[in-house]
Amino acid sequence: MRIYHFDRFPCTVIYAEDASLGPQIFAIAHQSREPAYWSSRL
């Protein structure tokens, strides 16, 4: 599992390799850093 932190984007990308499913990429948004991002999406 690899975790990438981007300073330009309010999200953390987690790259996990699965033997059966293949590469899995997860993007987790930082709610504490960009509260306006979540309010605009609602």
Residue 37 has pLDDT above 60, yes or no: no
* Distance from C-alpha of 20 to C-alpha of 41, rounded to nearest angstrom: 34
- Band the pLDDT of 42: cuts 50, 70, 90: very low
Cα four-point dihedral sign 1, 17, 31, 9: positive
* pLDDT tens column, 5-36: 666 666 677 777 888 888 887 777 665 555 55
* Inter-CA distances, 32 with 10, 11, 29, 35, Å: 9, 11, 9, 6
User: The whole model's pTM is what?
Assistant: 0.33
For residue 33, the model assigns a pLDDT of 52
Q: In what order do the strands lie in the sheet with 11-18?
A: 2-5, 11-18, 22-29
The structural domains of the chain, with segments of one domain joined by +, span: 2-41
